[in-house]
Structure 1
């Protein structure tokens, strides 16, 4: 140890004066200083063991004494025995790789701790788990992580993502070295102390590890990966030799594809919606699940492989090695799993033809929860149907000289337009119709021009055909302005012909299918019938 035992005993006495610990408790020093790795900035970690069954709090007390940070944890003898039992049960059922870092770390620190008070109780607790057996557990645990990281590095290299492949190969090398060291009794978890662990062990493997680490920046990615595989084999890590088509592309559970118009959308776990640009969409549609990764990539252009790597990172596809899922992790770091990128800032968020993307190769996260996205999209479609219905009513009222009806209908056109505008920008649920104009500031400066026109049309007065004609022109101009903003210029005149109505149903049907899958609220009850009929009118006969 780097600190004198008498100094530690004095520090312990001063610490116990400031914590509430039962009389007769045992105390040991654990952590890096107990291992002999610490330095002047290392914490002093005391574990207080209470010889009783009652649970002790998990959270440590942190004190600052004599210029050092002192951490005090408490555990009952029963809790410590249960930790060991948990690890032993995992080893007996070959589920070592499932053990959490925290439980292994706690067991390791206890087994290698230095008794400072009540050696008899500490010896009894430490004797509950054989050191050699624990070293075997740690060797297996680290070997699994090395194997998974190296397999992932190999897959990334196949997808031409060489920078990340090198990073994961380096992580695999660290885990492999930790596995080799654990098999020789060096079981401390924290990777930062690996160099000192290798110094204590010596041997050719330690020297080779240092040599390869120093050469990392100078080697080509392919050469570095080959060197890592070779050294990992020397560390005893198997199952990392590329053999042609052992890596396959598999479906990820909870991931579904929804083409809307010409745009591809992918829903993850019914929570997140990703929208693909044209290039990324073509790449996605070329993926054949259950096939070797090399075969899948051979169908793609070299540019498309970047999209494939992104599909993996987002958790939209999985990779497997001879049928076993590749699931890499970095111990004592942030959990590894599907990433969630920042939401897209493109506006509007959704159009009739799908969510909006920034560029052709984009894979953008829609900035709405999936259910709200589906509801907003369905409301967008229904709002455009209402626009067409109100426009038809306005024509009829003006033709018959029904001026008051025309005034109300003109306002209804405006309200339907604003419903669509707010829905396209992700506002859902919508405010009531009477409040739509006042909620336009939610869209910032985008809505200034539209808001001015909407207020004017909200107070139109029609007393004769001339005023009616003027209002009709202003209404049509307003509809065109809003539809240009939400990319709905081509929406069919729904009520002018059977073909136009069927075109309207076709637009709505794709969104209804997605909305129903997400359990989003349907805009009208009749939409359920359209969903049931498969997009056809319920009473027509071919």
Structure 2
């Protein structure tokens, strides 16, 4: 060790003097220094062990003693026994074995007793070192397999740079598994060089470093493939099994609670009933081509047959975001993970910045290959979309009512219906920007500060129209013309300029119902609040009117 026994005892005395300890403790040194590693910056990690029955805190106390950082942890014998038993229970299923738990057990088993040696050795005997070596080696081997399978998939999808990174991860995990079988069970990879030196196999050490330091130029798929093959050979020579060079053993499978909703040409994918991803045209085409349960190379070929250029990165994005998953035939789901890093699982990207967020025909996207996360939860997204469609229906209805009122000389009715049209148009604008629930109609103009500054002129114009009266037929005609221009301005700003004239004909009404039905299906699935109760009948009729002959 880099510190003498005398120095350790001195640091321990000074550390214990700062703590209000009320019982007898056995003390053992854990961590890198106990392992024979460490440097002047390494922590001094003392574990205090007691026969007390109560649960002792997991969080350490951090002290600064003689220029060294000292961590004091406390555990009861029962707590340590529980840790070891939990490791044994999970050993048969390495994916379920917590890295933190494995690390805590390793630190105890390889610790250096300082006081109460008999109690420390009694605790260590609860899990034989040979058994722990096997458990740790199997845990690393599982991770190495996952990383290599993931690298195979990425290489197949044309993501060679990312494949190189996971190949490097697999290289570390493979050699850590091998070293653990020889007793080098310390988990953190940062001391791997010293572990390989101690293992006494220069051939393995030198071959590892040759692979680790080999440079693979970015974008060089051939070099990346060679690196992966060399790593597979090395891992196999170290005893790793379960990773033949057969990407066809990887199948693309569905993920629970991932659903697809198409509105017009836009494909929306909902993950976990919470996150909505809007797919650009190319991404949507690739998504629609997927036949789940098929081998990855075949899925890739079928995606390429759609005419979309380079579909591999799009499939990789679907995998990355947890919209589909990979399964190794006979080996379960592929879930790569790195030590001391974020836990494995789907990536959630930053929310899309496209504005407005919604149009009546689908969410806005940032490009043809976009897989954009919407910046609001799925139920509010669906509610905003339904409100957007319904507001446009109300606009059309209000304009029709305005026209009828003006023909009959009903000036006060015309004023109220014009205001109704303005408010409905503003509700659509707010909904297009994802505002849900909506402000009250009377507050809409004052709440324009919720929207981008570019919509400011719309708010000004709305305020002017809301203040307009109808004192003559000429006033009414002018108001109707200005209202139409205002509606066109709003619809242009929210992507609804192609909204059908709902009440113009049977054809345009059917088109309106179809638009509404597309969004209602998603909203009902997510439990979003429907804009009107009659919408349930439209949903039940699959987009048809309830009394329409079929």
- TM-score of the aligned structures, taking structure 1 as reference length: 0.98
1:447 & 1:90 partners in 2: Cα distance?
A: 58
**Separation in 1 of the partners of 2:210 and 2:264?**
56
Structure 2 CA distance, aligned partners of 1:110 and 1:224?
37
2:259 matched to which residue of 1? Answer: 256
Q: Work out which of the residue numbers 493, 502, 505 in structure 1 matches 2:510.
A: 502
Native 8 Å contact 1:271 1:369 kept in 2:
yes
Per the alignment, residue 120 of structure 1 pairs with: 118
Matched, 1:14 2:14: yes
Q: Determine if the alignment matches structure 1 residue 318 to structure 2 residue 321.
A: no
Q: Which runs of 5+ in 1 are unaligned?
A: none
For residues 342-393 of structure 1, give each alpha carbon's deviation from its aligned partner in whole angstroms, at most 9, with x where no partner exists.
1111111010110011111111111111110000000000000000110011
Counterpart of 1:305 (choices 307, 312, 317) is 312
2:481 corresponds to = 473
Q: Answer whether contact 2:358 2:385 (CA < 8 A) is retained.
A: yes
- Quote the Cα distance in structure 1 between the aligned partners of 2:500 and 2:89: 66
Counterpart of 2:178 in structure 1 is 180
1:159 pairs, out of 157, 160, 169, with 157
Pairwise CA distance, 1:127: 1.1
**2:386 corresponding residue in structure 1:** 378
| Deviations, residues 23-59 of structure 1 (Å, cap 9, x unaligned) | 3211110000000110010000000111121110111
Once residues 323 and 236 of structure 2 are traced to their aligned partners in structure 1, the CA distance between those partners, rounded to angstroms, is 32
TM-score normalised according to structure 2 size: 0.97
Q: Which residue of 2 aligns with 1:88?
A: 88
Cα distance in 1, alignment partners of residues 439 and 85 from structure 2: 57
Q: Is the 8 A contact 2:247 2:296 kept in 1?
A: no
Aligned to 2:453, which of 442, 445, 450?
Answer: 445
SS at match of 1:303: coil
Q: Equivalent of 2:288, from 265, 285, 304?
A: 285
- How many residues align? The count is 540
Does the Cα contact within 8 Å between 2:26 and 2:116 map onto a contact in 1?
yes
1:189, CA displacement in angstroms?
0.6
| Correspondent of 2:500 among 488, 492, 500 | 492
**What CA distance in whole angstroms lies between the structure 2 residues aligned with 1:298 and 1:506?**
34
Q: Per the alignment, in what secondary structure is the counterpart of residue 236 of structure 2?
A: helix
Aligned partners of 2:145 and 2:181: how far apart in 1?
A: 16
**Mapping of residues 160-309 of structure 1, within 5 Å:** 160-203=158-201, 204-217=203-216, 220-243=223-246, 245-301=248-304, 302-309=309-316
Deviations 1:234-258 (A, max 9, x none): 1211111123521111111111111
Q: Which moved more, 1:297-306 or 1:4-13?
A: 297-306
- Residue 501 of structure 1 and its aligned partner are, at CA, apart by 1.4
Choose 277-286 or 208-217, whichever is displaced more.
Answer: 208-217
Moved over 3 A (4+): 216-219
Q: Distance in 1 between matches of 2:256 and 2:108?
A: 40
In the alignment, the residues of structure 2 paired with residue 197 and residue 21 of structure 1 have an alpha-carbon distance, to the nearest angstrom, of 36
SS in structure 1 of the partner of residue 267 of structure 2: strand
Aligned counterpart in structure 1 of residue 397 of structure 2, from 382, 389, 405: 389
Q: What is the alpha-carbon distance in structure 1 between the residues aligned to residue 37 and residue 216 of structure 2?
A: 28
Distance in 2 separating the partners of 1:290 and 1:106: 39
Within 1, Cα distance between the matches of 2:531 and 2:96?
Answer: 46
- Between the aligned partners of 2:56 and 2:23, the Cα distance in structure 1 is 15
Q: Which residue of 2 aligns with 1:361?
A: 369
Once the two structures are superposed, residues 80-133 of structure 1 have per-residue CA deviations (whole angstroms, 9 ceiling, x without a partner) of 011111112223xx1233110111111100011111111111111111110000
Instruction: Measure the CA separation in 1 of the matches of 2:320 and 2:200.
Output: 38
Q: State how far apart, in whole Å, the 2-side matches of 1:244 and 1:80 are.
A: 43
SS in 1 for 2:270: strand
Q: For 1:489 and 1:44, how far apart are their aligned partners in 2?
A: 68
- Corresponding residue number in structure 2 for 1:416: 424
Query: 1:216–1:224: 8 Å Cα contact kept in structure 2?
Result: no
Give me the CA root mean square deviation.
1.1
State the distance in 1 between where 2:7 and 2:59 align. 26
Instruction: Provide the residue aligned with 1:433 in structure 2.
Output: 441
In 2, are the aligned partners of 1:50 and 1:75 still within 8 Å (CA)? yes
Separation in structure 1 between the aligned mates of residue 453 and residue 247 of structure 2, nearest angstrom: 56
**3-state DSSP of counterpart to 1:394:** helix
Tell me which residue corresponds to 1:5. Answer: 5
Write the distance in 2 (CA, Å) between the matches of 1:79 and 1:168: 36
Is 1:541 the equivalent of 2:513? Answer: no
2:52 corresponds to: 52
C-alpha distance in 2, partners of 1:95/1:445?
55
Task: Tell me, yes or no, if structure 1 residue 24 matches structure 2 residue 27.
Answer: no
Structure 2 runs not aligned, ≥5 long: none
> Do 1:384 and 1:417's aligned partners in 2 also have CA atoms closer than 8 Å?
yes
What's the offset of the Cα at 1:445? 1.1
Mapped contact 1:371–1:519 kept (Cα < 8 A): yes
Residue 407, structure 1, aligned to residue 415, structure 2: yes
Rate the CA distance shift 1:96–1:22 in 2: closer, same or farther, 3 A: farther
1:160/1:306 contact within 8 Å kept: yes
Task: Pick closer, same or farther for the CA change 1:97–1:377 going to 2, 3 Å.
Answer: closer
The SS at the match of 1:222 is helix
Q: Report 1:32-47 matches (<5 A).
A: 32-47=32-47
Moved more, 32-41 or 328-337: 328-337
